[in-house]
Structure 1
Amino acid sequence: MTHVHPRISPDGHHQHDNDGQAEILDLDAEVLAEHTLAITQWLPVRESPGQIVDLGCGTGAGTFALLERFPEAHVTAVDASSGHLQRLREKARARGVEERVRTVQADLDEPDWPGLGTPDLVWASASMHHMAHPDHALRNVHDLLAPGGLFAVVELSGFPRFLPENAPEDRPGLEERCHEASDRFHAEHVPHRGADWGPKLAEAGFTVEGERAITVNIEGSRSEAVGAYALGSLQRMRHSVADALSTEDLAALDRLLDTHGSHSILHREDLVVRTERTVWAARRTD
């Protein structure tokens, strides 16, 4: 999830360079890898792109999915976090694709963008809604793209849910109440979250060629990463919702987050990753 300036974590604050925040991005990439690859396969590309730009690349979830989908392509990965970019470069070396990846550290809310070439495909996953001036960024992407090039905007519908509705046993419905408080927080601090990007893309001069909603429903038993992903996500959400929760709800949340306690979310066998991702595919037709 990023601003092409620092990423915003589920606590609503800008993420800076530390291992904890990079780790949650890596878990996000691992847990949602199948769905990310499915989106890249759906993209209505006319021919395999040679140059791709990944805006708000984080630690590389989109970058590596695109490199796998388009084996002849080179990717310019852009983010404001030097730590995330360093981690991405290390992954590229480990995968033997470092020669196909260029990293650029930049805040794309700045008026002057760095040189990003003339890409055939621009990918922005969970980054556009963090931009302070997304309309300006959309126009910049339009001008950046090669004629006939494609812009893919991917967004999650809020933060994933992990618990059954009747959980935890001592405070049923806790997660839903946390999400309601988080939604109120983000409505104030991240106003473009949940936006319909189709009209915005059309206003910026694009022709929207496709929109697709993908339902994510991943059983926790399939991967140990799901427990770690749930823990990290709820830890970050806690910062934005703590003041809005009742004393009883906050105590129940803290029991879930206590990795040494018997109520730890890591001990649960009923976790499921539930969310929805929407992708818009828009072409520069002029």
Structure 2
Amino acid sequence: MEETVHQPHAHTHDHTHTHSHGSDHDWEALGDQLEREAELHIPAVTEAAHWLRDLLGLDGGGQTRVSRVLDVGSGPGVAACLLAAAFPDAEVVAVDQAPGLLERVRTRAAGLHLADRVATLRTDLPSGFDSLGSADLIWSGNAIHHLGDQQAALAALAASLRPGGLLAVAERGLPPRFLPRDIGIGRPGLQARLDAANEELFGTMRAQLPGSTETVEDWPAMLARAGLMPSGTRTFLTDLPAPLGRPAREYLYAQLSRLRDRLGDRLDREDRETLDLLVDGDARTGIRSRPDAFYLTAITVHTARAPRPA
């Protein structure tokens, strides 16, 4: 399907993410890493998609028909293609700001023989919400927090739902764990300190967004304020035990390299030196070689339905 283009771009993306935050991301440059991350979560997102089918009544003989699905903040399209597989009668539209990421969507869809049902829409958010068109299901994975007014973003997505349609927002879950508390180098508890520094950076990112608005991130309550009827929240686990396979190790190597660069001034000297050792590709202590490296994280999905006419 042809891409529909709307300018300018927004900072929206795929993934049930573990990346460090900031307002200056070059999402296209992060394409490989975003795709690696999303591929690690394929089983969890597949399970989430089938839960959405249950909520829509598709697996219980219900009368709901899903003909159009939006993936808002699609990134490289891993989730969009999983949604296309879960909803075989629907057109899935991957919505993102970055042309390079949308090209990845098209490449992935073609490789999975889904090119006839997965379209792309390049648009700016929040100004481009009115370009989305209506849908029976809207999925947004870790994109809303990149918009200054999260409540207004939910209201805009709710306005695109058809009567009885479902909005599914994956936000905040649990941060990943990939190392023991004591890894034999540096002070124990490195991962907890990385989490704390990353949260501070996230807060800075949120404060710098245009129209940044503070809100209590009670997602079911926010969905209700958007005029929807909350229909359940579930968390989906990604559990890759040690010893990790190569794809997960390469993802963690790139992720720790990025964290070292972005969090360096928020960490003490000892923790910076520990990160240097973890991303030393030739060291036995490096993440590419450690036998104790694992990958454990959780995706939390909040859902709500659009009311049907009385």
For normalisation by structure 2, the TM-score amounts to 0.84
- The CA deviation at 1:90 is 1.0
Residue 194 of structure 1 deviates from its aligned partner by: 9.2
- 1:126 Cα deviation from its structure 2 partner: 1.1
Alpha-carbon distance in 2 for matches of 1:193, 1:184: 17
Distance in 2, matches of 1:189 and 1:258, equals 29
- Of 223, 233, 240, 2:255 maps to 233
Counterpart in 1 of 2:155?
139
Please, which runs of 5 or more residues in structure 1 have no aligned partner?
none
- Give the corresponding residue for 2:211: none
Hey, what does 1:86 align to over in structure 2?
Answer: 103
Q: What are the equivalent positions in structure 2 for 1:36-47 lying under 5 Å apart?
A: 36-43=45-52, 44-46=55-57, 47=64
Alignment length, in residue pairs?
282
Determine if contact 1:4/1:78 at 8 Å carries over to the other structure. Answer: no
Deviation of the 1:163 alpha carbon: 0.6
Deviation at 1:231, TM superposition (A): 1.4
Cα distance change of structure 1 residues 153 and 88 upon mapping to structure 2, 3 Å threshold: same
Matches within 5 A, 1:55-70: 55-70=72-87
Q: CA separation of 1:211/1:6 partners in 2, compared to 1, >3 Å: closer, same or farther?
A: closer
1:133 Cα offset (Å): 1.7
Shift of residue 183, structure 1, vs aligned partner: 1.3
- Aligned AA (2:104): R
1:1-286 map, 5 Å: 4-7=10-13, 9-19=19-29, 21-43=30-52, 44-46=55-57, 47-110=64-127, 112-157=128-173, 159-190=175-206, 195-221=217-243, 223-286=245-308
Gapped runs of 5+ residues in structure 2? Answer: 1-8, 58-63, 208-213
- Per-residue CA shift, 1:227-259, capped at 9, x if unaligned? 112112222222332112111110110111122
Cα distance, 1:92 vs. partner? 1.1
Structure 1 residue 284: Cα displacement: 0.5
Higher helix share: 1
Relative to structure 1, is the Cα distance of residues 147 and 243 closer, same or farther in structure 2, using a 3 angstrom cutoff? same
Question: 1:156, 1:275 within 8 Å by CA — same for their partners in 2?
Answer: no
TM-score between both structures, scaled by the size of structure 1: 0.90
- Identity, in percent, stands at 30
| Post-superposition CA distance 1:65-84 (Å, at most 9, x none) | 10111112111110111111
CA contact (8 A) 1:174 1:253 kept: no
Q: CA RMSD in A?
A: 2.3
Given that residues 21 and 205 in structure 2 are in contact (C-alpha distance below 8 angstroms), is that contact kept between their aligned partners in structure 1? no
Deviation for aligned residue 1:11: 4.5
CA distance, structure 2, for counterparts of residue 149 and residue 118 of structure 1: 10
Report the Cα offset of residue 222 of structure 1.
5.4
Q: Partners of 1:40 and 1:25 in 2: how far apart?
A: 19
Which stretch has the larger CA shift, 54-63 or 220-229?
220-229
* Aligned residue identity for 2:11: H
Moved more, 88-97 or 170-179: 170-179
- For 1:41, the aligned partner's letter is H
Secondary structure of the structure 2 residue equivalent to 1:265 = coil
CA contact (8 A) 1:218 1:274 kept: yes
Query: What is the CA–CA distance in structure 1 between the aligned matches of 2:227 and 2:92, rounded to whole Å?
Result: 24
